[in-house]
Amino acid sequence: MTPPQATQATEATQASRAKVVASAVLLVIGCLPAGAATGIAYLSNPLGPWDHQAFDHIRLFGKLGLTFALLTAPVAALAVTRRWLRPWWIVPCVLITAAAWARLTVLFPAH
């Protein structure tokens, strides 16, 4: 029979691992569509000022990428501040957010 302290330590370790895995899975699930949508926004280039469909696609996918990144950012911040994950897990959220914002504002093609 195991002592109560060993059982409690094992349960705490399992709970800690579950938090790490759950937060990592949530971040991957959130960053993948955010990165894909932002990438599509960058790959869409209008043929000219008359190509309103391309401008609409850039706006749509840029906003989707920005939304997914902003929804994922609190999960990353929580996981890092609780020390469930290392600080580099914030980097993808910040990069995707900055890239999506830039495509919607500074790097938006001219009409």
Residue ranges per domain, the chain?
20-104
Query: Is 73:93 a contact under the CB 8 Å cutoff?
Result: yes
pLDDT tens, residue order, the chain (111 aa)? 566 665 655 766 777 889 999 999 999 999 999 999 999 999 999 999 999 999 999 999 999 999 999 999 999 999 999 999 999 999 999 999 999 999 999 999 987
Whole-number pLDDT of residue 9 = 57
Cβ neighbours of 67 (radius 10 Å): 14
Angle at 91 between CA 32 and CA 77, to 5 degrees: 90
What's the half-sphere exposure (Cβ side, CA atoms, 13 Å) at 12? 6
